[in-house]
Amino acid sequence: MGYKLIGYVKLRDLKQMPPEDIKALDVMNISFGYLKEGKVGLNGREIYQEDIKRIKGINPDVKIVLSIGGWTAGGFSTAVKDDKGRALFVTSALETIREWDLDGIDIDWEYPCIGIAGIDWAKEDKENFTYLMQGLREGMDTLESEKRHYIVSIAAGGDAYFTRCTQMDKVAKYVDYVQLMTYDLRGGFSIVTGHHTGLYSNPEDLFESCTDKAVESFLQAGVPCHKIVIGAAFYSRLWKGVPDRNHGLMQAATSTGGYGPGYGDLMERFENKNGYQRYWDDEAKAPYLFNGENFISYDDKESLSCKAEYIKEKGLCGIMYWEYCLDTKRELTQFLREKLA
């Protein structure tokens, strides 16, 4: 079985990718396209064409998929509330695929039935999300040829709230795979420090969110294991004002866990540097940093190795990461490829 390695890459970062990273990836999720007045699209065609020509020349097998959405990206609920809206969404998606010579569409709706990101929402999102994915799959099938398969995928919230608000057993029939955003599991909404992308939960932790729990939630919701992709973080979450107890782990801070440094910056200036000490939680299979006041949660090579082994043990589809540009050392993409072999 070949395990998929999928990376979210911003359009502007395509030209920065070295050949080794391009060869390592199975799928590049271009982030992000837009949804405007019910239509899907992407800006920057001339730049994109030049970059993709180079990338395809290096790795003809890599799939280029356009991701639509992201945190605070609204418009989904209104756009797909009826047959007419969904038809416009699908038609514009297919036109964008043909115009840009893409290999598929990734829907990153954060989240159906939930408006916490300040987006439009409705209780009918639960069914309409299914109808949208069905429409996309059927639309892609009209483009199919013997030589080319078009991908339909989603990025899903990494906890049971997403499975409660969707019909994943039905959605799973229409998508090639489901990418679990098993990061930000602790952070912006919590003052209690912990692992934002941990593989397992620590029994001593008040909160159980972790990659393994997310996988079990989606399996129970009807998504087969071979369609589940787990997520890795190339960035950190940082809490300030943390009591100097238990090396800062599972402590109430004076701040919520805001976005912290990216992986490259962590390696350059934080891990065992400038007063920060690296620690390892063997229960969660996750690293963290603490300097007596600030706590940082992140993924590194040790935790990514554990995630790769987990994928193999569970028979999952693969791993994806957010996001490429944060690994300024250009280490993790090739490292993950090796670990998934």
* DSSP per-residue letters across 1-58: -PPEEEEEEEGGGGGG--HHHHHH-SEEEEEEEEEETTEEE-S-HHHHHHHHHHHHHH
Question: If phi over 0 gives left and psi between -120 and 50 gives alpha, with beta otherwise, what is residue 8?
Answer: beta
HSE-up of residue 167 (Cα within 13 Å, Cβ side): 16
Give the N- to C-terminal CA distance of the chain in Å, as an integer.
9
Annotated catalytic residues are 110
Residue 239, strand partner residues: 295
Q: Which of 177, 205, 25, 191 is nearest to 107 (CA)?
A: 177
* Rounded distance between C-alpha atoms, residue 95 and residue 70, angstroms: 21
In this structure, the strands spanning 104-108 and 63-69 are parallel
Tokens of residue 198, six digits: 């941990």
Torsion of CA 301, 302, 306, 309, to 10 degrees: 60
For 68, other C-beta atoms within 10 Å of its C-beta total 25
Tokens of residue 18, six digits: 């070295």
Q: Which of 154, 166, 72 is nearest to 113 (CA)?
A: 166
